[in-house]
Homo-oligomer: A and B are copies of this chain.
Amino acid sequence: MARFIALDIHAGIGASLRDTVLVAFLDTAGCILSGRNEAVTRQLSAWLDQRYRNDRAARLLFSEERHSVAAAAMLNAVSGHALDLDDVALAGHPSVVLVPALLAESDHTGARGPALVSAYIKGYQVWADLLRRLPDPLHVKGWHPTAVLGTMGAAAALCALRNTAPDVTAHALGIAASRASGLVANFGSMTKPLHAGWAAEQAISAVDLALLGMTASMDALDGPTGLLTALSSERPPDRQTPFFETGELAISQVRPSVKKYPVCYAMHRVIDGVIGLRNRHGLRPADVERIDAHVSVTNARVLKYERPAGPLEAKFSMPFACACALAFGEVGLRHLSAETLSDPAVRGLMPRVRMQELDSQCPIEPSFAYTDRVCITLKNQTVLDSGPIRFAVGHAQLPLAPEQIEAKVLGCADPAEEAEVRALIARLRGLLGDRP
């Protein structure tokens, strides 16, 4: 693994992969902007000021304020995960850990271009490799992959960016392995976004400590009492297959899926379906008798709020998502509000939404049905059918267009900040070598 991290993979990275990584950086930047005013971000910021030495090495939340690399990476990751709007892959949220760690390091050292792209891809690879060795889903056991595998992926990405010697890399990964943790039980609390921040911070610490000469065991990952065993004591993990055996990059097989809507990913396909039918048929709330949303059994269980009491619950409410999509033609950050929840059109539509359970299964994402579907019954008894919806707009298989990505990033900030956000987008494009 340490050898792979030291590999020069620039030559194998084509324009398409570079674009994928650029989208990951842009989307994460938008998410970081979106979470700036959340309570978890503000409280963490105060704590970091008390706790960490501030050498002003890296930018906080894309503002003029600066802090240490570790503090900036942590705060930015927490802000990026605070609203759960960040991208999804590898059973978790890879970019919200990798990108803040790499951007903070880049602020500090000036690292840019292909070095950043390669480092992201290597961190993604290590995350994917560890995940594939675990026979059962981490979520079911209580481990949050973004926290556990994020710590490892970010440590790998940082070693790549700093170009550490292979033995330092091996020790850094071993030190990081002893800190990989984070519980699914803490979903729905402020500790969930903290997981992303800790993953980034622990990765930076592990690399710093290894560079100072701290040692770990060489079997900390794959030994009989190493991380893989600890995460899968009931069924043996794959501790044998060589790393990077196929020589194929994980990211060229599964790219991160960008979330277009700031709600649980389990509703995204249905929202696309509702908006499609609305636009095609010029639907208005008063026309609609009922909405049937067909999703997998697992997703139906996750979406547990029939009558959401507030915006946090609305993120996991199918009636809210369908009603909002039908009433406004979109589900945006500004719709996650008490005003939208009490809007007469939304309130009138929510009781008309039903979930229907499907038992097919998607081979890429087993908790999902192979396809979702929406049927809208009009007051005149006409039934409008979305037909099967295989991928949400933004999914790795159905990516957002560049202007849609930019629109999402802009939508994450105040409209008054448009000029600054456009400048940030241009800066990130330049940083990643989009315009050489």
Assuming the A-B contacts A51-B53, A70-B51, A212-B43, are A178 and B186 also in contact, with contact meaning beta carbons closer than 8 angstroms in the complex?
yes
Pairwise interchain contact B230-A215, C-beta atoms closer than 8 A: no
Pairwise interchain contact B220-A183, C-beta atoms closer than 8 A: yes
Interface residue? A244 (CB, 8 A): no
Interface code A18-61, partner B: CB below 8 Å = 1, 0 otherwise?
00000000000000000000011001101100111110000000
Contact of A229 among B142, B147, B217 (CB under 8 A): B142
CB distance from A165 to the nearest CB of B (A): 17
What chain B residues lie within 8 Å of A223 (beta carbons)?
185
Please, how many angstroms separate the alpha-carbon atoms of A221 and B191 in the complex? 13
Pairwise interchain contact B183-A225, C-beta atoms closer than 8 A: yes
A185, A194, A219, most chain B CB atoms within 10 A: A185
Contact of A214 among B70, B174, B194 (CB under 8 A): B194
Contact of A143 among B46, B52, B215, B230 (CB under 8 A): B230
Pairwise interchain contact B179-A229, C-beta atoms closer than 8 A: no
Which A residues contact B (CB, under 8 angstroms)? 39-40, 43-44, 46-47, 50-54, 68, 70, 136, 139-144, 147, 174-175, 177-191, 194-195, 198, 205, 208-209, 212-217, 219-221, 223-227, 229-230, 233-234
Please, how many angstroms separate the alpha-carbon atoms of A53 and B291 in the complex? 56
Please, how many angstroms separate the alpha-carbon atoms of A195 and B177 in the complex? 11
What chain B residues lie within 8 Å of A53 (beta carbons)?
50-54
Pairwise interchain contact B233-A185, C-beta atoms closer than 8 A: no
Contact of A178 among B43, B174, B191 (CB under 8 A): B191
CB distance from A358 to the nearest CB of B (A): 24
Assuming the A-B contacts A214-B190, A233-B233, are A220 and B185 also in contact, with contact meaning beta carbons closer than 8 angstroms in the complex?
yes
What chain B residues lie within 8 Å of A44 (beta carbons)?
209, 214
Assuming the A-B contacts A47-B209, A233-B233, are A217 and B185 also in contact, with contact meaning beta carbons closer than 8 angstroms in the complex?
yes
Please, how many angstroms separate the alpha-carbon atoms of A224 and B39 in the complex? 27
What chain B residues lie within 8 Å of A54 (beta carbons)?
53
Pairwise interchain contact B183-A181, C-beta atoms closer than 8 A: no
Would you give 24 A-B contacts (Cβ < 8 Å), ordered by A? Answer: A44-B209, A47-B212, A50-B53, A51-B205, A52-B52, A52-B53, A140-B233, A142-B224, A142-B226, A142-B233, A175-B194, A178-B195, A178-B198, A183-B227, A183-B230, A185-B217, A185-B227, A187-B217, A189-B220, A190-B216, A191-B215, A191-B216, A191-B217, A194-B209
Please, how many angstroms separate the alpha-carbon atoms of A140 and B209 in the complex? 27
Pairwise interchain contact B139-A225, C-beta atoms closer than 8 A: yes
What chain B residues lie within 8 Å of A184 (beta carbons)?
225
Pairwise interchain contact A190-B177, C-beta atoms closer than 8 A: no
CB distance from A221 to the nearest CB of B (A): 8
Please, how many angstroms separate the alpha-carbon atoms of A285 and B205 in the complex? 49
A51, A184, A221, most chain B CB atoms within 10 A: A51
What chain B residues lie within 8 Å of A225 (beta carbons)?
139-142, 183-185, 187
Contact of A215 among B46, B50, B189 (CB under 8 A): B189
CB distance from A171 to the nearest CB of B (A): 8
Which partner residue on chain B sits nearest A40 by CB separation? Answer: B214
What chain B residues lie within 8 Å of A136 (beta carbons)?
233
Pairwise interchain contact A189-B216, C-beta atoms closer than 8 A: yes
Please, how many angstroms separate the alpha-carbon atoms of A143 and B177 in the complex? 11
Pairwise interchain contact B189-A217, C-beta atoms closer than 8 A: yes
Known: A51-B53, A51-B205, A52-B52. 9 other contacts (CB 8 A): A43-B209, A43-B213, A47-B208, A47-B212, A142-B233, A181-B181, A185-B219, A185-B225, A189-B217
